[in-house]
Amino acid sequence: MCSLRLSEVRKLQWADVDLDHGLVRITGREVKTVHSDRTIPIPALVRDILSEAKRRQDPSLTDPVLVTNKRASYWKAFTRYRDKWRPGLNVEPNGLRRVLRSEWFKRRWHADSLAVYRGHKPPNTSVVDWNHYIIFDPDSLQKMFREEVVARIDRVLEPYRERWINSTSNVVELSQAEKAAQSLVQKGPEKGPLAGGEDCLSAEG
């Protein structure tokens, strides 16, 4: 739901998560490029899920957010829970990152704010401008993320959040129409002029 890279998700520590303000800090060894070092607001449903996980784990600040954070063991755990939840679903952990980008494209929302949110240079901005001339102060960047990215995600996820809050099993079930939409996640990266050769679409993290 935040479209984080798998490496970013696995290396998150609780010290990087500010649940009071709904922020996650991506920094240090896990960043892929200079654009990947960022602090992002998170959707309300993600905040709820992380709050529940923190309540159950009672972790220290240096503990990983994912109890299973090694790559091999994470993939095994992901596969085990995926098969238990939806047998036969063909989606891998990396595939989750495509969901938000694909939804953004389908809804024709402005792409620049999402690119920065995901740790990329905006597609229509030159490297020179991005590296030397465009300057964001933290407050205006957070405001942009909340208004142009997170608010839109929250509107889409509100029905799922209601199910999460009202559920006793903490599993959000899909309707038949929503199950049909899973094929978008299973297709793999989109290529071509519209996709820009980059992985596409709701969450890796």
Whether 203 is covered by a domain: the verdict is no
In-domain check, residue 158: yes
Residue 12: inside a domain, yes or no?
yes
**H or E segment and range at residue 86:** none
Domain that holds residue 45: 6-172
Structural domain total, the chain: 1
The answer to whether residue 182 sits within a structural domain is no
Residue 28 binned pLDDT confidence (cut-offs 50, 70, 90) = low
> Residue 201 domain-assigned?
no
Read off the pLDDT of each residue in 145-173 and give the average, rounded to a whole number: 81
Average pLDDT over every residue of 123-145: 87
CATH code, 52 = 1.10.443
Assess contact for 179 and 186: CB atoms under 8 A. Answer: no
Q: What pTM did the predictor assign?
A: 0.71
Where b means 16+ CB within 10 Å and e means fewer, 4-25 reads bbbebbbbbbbebbeeeebbbe
Rounded-to-integer distance, Cα 152 and Cα 51, Å: 21
Query: Per the domain annotation, does 102 fall within a domain?
Result: yes
Residue 14: the pLDDT is: 95
Sign of the dihedral defined by the CA atoms of residues 72, 75, 78, 80, in that order: negative
Render pLDDT for 86-112 as a digit per residue (tens, 0 to 9): 788 777 777 778 888 888 888 888 788
